[in-house]
Amino acid sequence: MNEVVEIKVLQDYRVWLRFQDEEAKVVNLRPFIGKGFTAELIDYSNFEKVFIEPGGGIAWENGYDFCPNFLKELKGEKIELA
């Protein structure tokens, strides 16, 4: 089972994620927000409130979430932050 263990919000609706296996990458979440109940996440102050769920996924207070397995498979740029 994949789990996100660290997250950092970057610019342009991108987040840096580190998984329990130490893989780290940046993913762009912009394509997934903006309609329906995700519309409130367009406000960057709301987007920045992302947190890691107990199961290792990421979520926001409005209930929108991403499964850690989906995030692991999502195309992203593998980078390390200093």
CATH 3.30.2020.10 fits 4-73, yes or no: yes
Domain ranges within the chain, ordered by starting residue: 4-73
pLDDT of residue 76: 78
The DSSP secondary structure of 30-49, one letter per residue, reads GGG-SSGGGGGGGSHHHHTT
pLDDT at 27 over 80: yes
Sign of CA dihedral 25, 30, 31, 34: positive
pLDDT at 82 over 80: no
What are the structure tokens assigned to 68, written together?
Answer: 């850690």
Residues of the chain with pLDDT > 70: what percent? Answer: 94
Q: Which stretch of DSSP H or E encloses residue 52?
A: strand 51-52
Residue-wise pLDDT tens digits, 38-55: 999 999 999 999 999 999
Q: Is the pTM of this model over 0.85?
A: yes
